[in-house]
Amino acid sequence: MSFDIEKLKSNNKELREIVNNSWDGIAIIDKTSKLVYVNNAFSPILGFSKEEFLSKKFTSFILDEHKEDFENLMQENIINKYKSQVQVICKRNDSQKVYLQVTISLMLSGEFFVINARDITKQISDDEILDNYVISNHTDINGIITKVSKAFCLLSGFTKDELIGKSHSCMKHPDMDKSVYNDLWKTIRNGNDWSGKVKNLKKSGDFFWVDVKIKPIYNKYGDITGYTALMFDITNELLLKDDKKTLESEIDVAQDTIKQKDKILVHQSKLAIMAETLQMVSHEWRQPLNLISIQAQKIELDYSLNDEINENELFETLSNIKDKANELSNTIEDFQSFVNLKSERKLSNTTKIIEKALKIFNNDFQSKEINFIQDIQNDIDFETYANELSTVLVNIFINAKEAIIRHDIQNSKITLKEYTRDDIINFEISDNGGGIDEEIIDKIFEPYYSTKEEQHGVGLGLYMCKTIIEMHFNGSISIKNQNDGVTVHITLPIK
Residue 190 has what pLDDT?
94
Residue at 387: amino acid letter = N
What is d(CA 324, CA 317) in angstroms, rounded to the nearest whole number?
11
- Choice between 105 and 288, residue whose per-residue pLDDT is larger: 105
Q: In terms of DSSP H, where are the helices of 54-101?
A: 64-80
Q: Which of 430, 404, 403 is nearest to 417 (CA)?
A: 430
> 69: alpha, beta or left, given left = phi > 0 and alpha = psi -120 to 50?
alpha
Contact yes or no for 157/202 (Cβ under 8 A): yes
Q: Give me the torsion for CA of 377, 382, 388, 390, rounded to 10°.
A: 20
- Confidence at 448, pLDDT banded by 50, 70, 90: low
Cα 313 from Cα 295, distance rounded (Å): 11
CA 469 to CA 464: how far, in whole Å?
A: 9
Answer yes or no: is pLDDT of 105 > 60: yes
Is residue 459 within 8 Å of 475, Cβ to Cβ?
A: no
For the four alpha carbons of 15, 20, 23 and 27, in that order, the dihedral sign comes to positive
Express each pLDDT in 385-441 by its tens digit.
888 888 889 889 988 998 898 888 888 999 999 999 888 999 999 999 888 888 888
Cβ atoms within 10 A of the Cβ of 245, count?
9
**Residues 489/426, Cβ–Cβ less than 8 Å:** yes
Taken in order 33, 35, 40, 44, is the CA torsion positive or negative? positive
8-state DSSP, 84: E
Residue 234 · residue 211 · CB < 8 Å: yes
Q: What is the per-residue pLDDT for 414?
A: 93
Supply angle C-alpha 280, 285, 290, rounded to 5: 130
Distance separating alpha carbons of residues 254 and 244, to the nearest angstrom: 10
Q: Which of 42-46, 131-135, 312-316 tops mean pLDDT?
A: 42-46
How, if at all, do strands 413-421 and 371-376 pair? Answer: parallel
CA dist 325 and 1 (Å) reads 34
Q: Which of 119-133, 227-241, 297-311 has the lowest mean pLDDT?
A: 297-311
The pLDDT value recorded for residue 142 is 93
Residue 462: phi, psi to the nearest 5? -70, -30
Query: Of residues 300 and 284, which shows the higher confidence score?
Result: 300
Write the Ramachandran bin of 128: left for phi over 0, alpha for psi from -120 to 50, otherwise beta: alpha
Average pLDDT over residues 125-150: 86
Contacts by 102-109, CB closer than 8 A, 24 or more apart = 102/70, 103/294, 104/73, 104/74, 104/77, 105/77, 105/298, 106/77, 106/78, 106/81, 107/28, 107/301, 107/302, 107/305, 108/302, 108/305, 108/306, 108/309, 108/310, 109/1, 109/3, 109/305, 109/306
The mean pLDDT value for 149-176 works out to 92
> What number of residues does the chain have?
495
Which residues on neighbouring strands pair with residue 62, listed in sequence order?
90
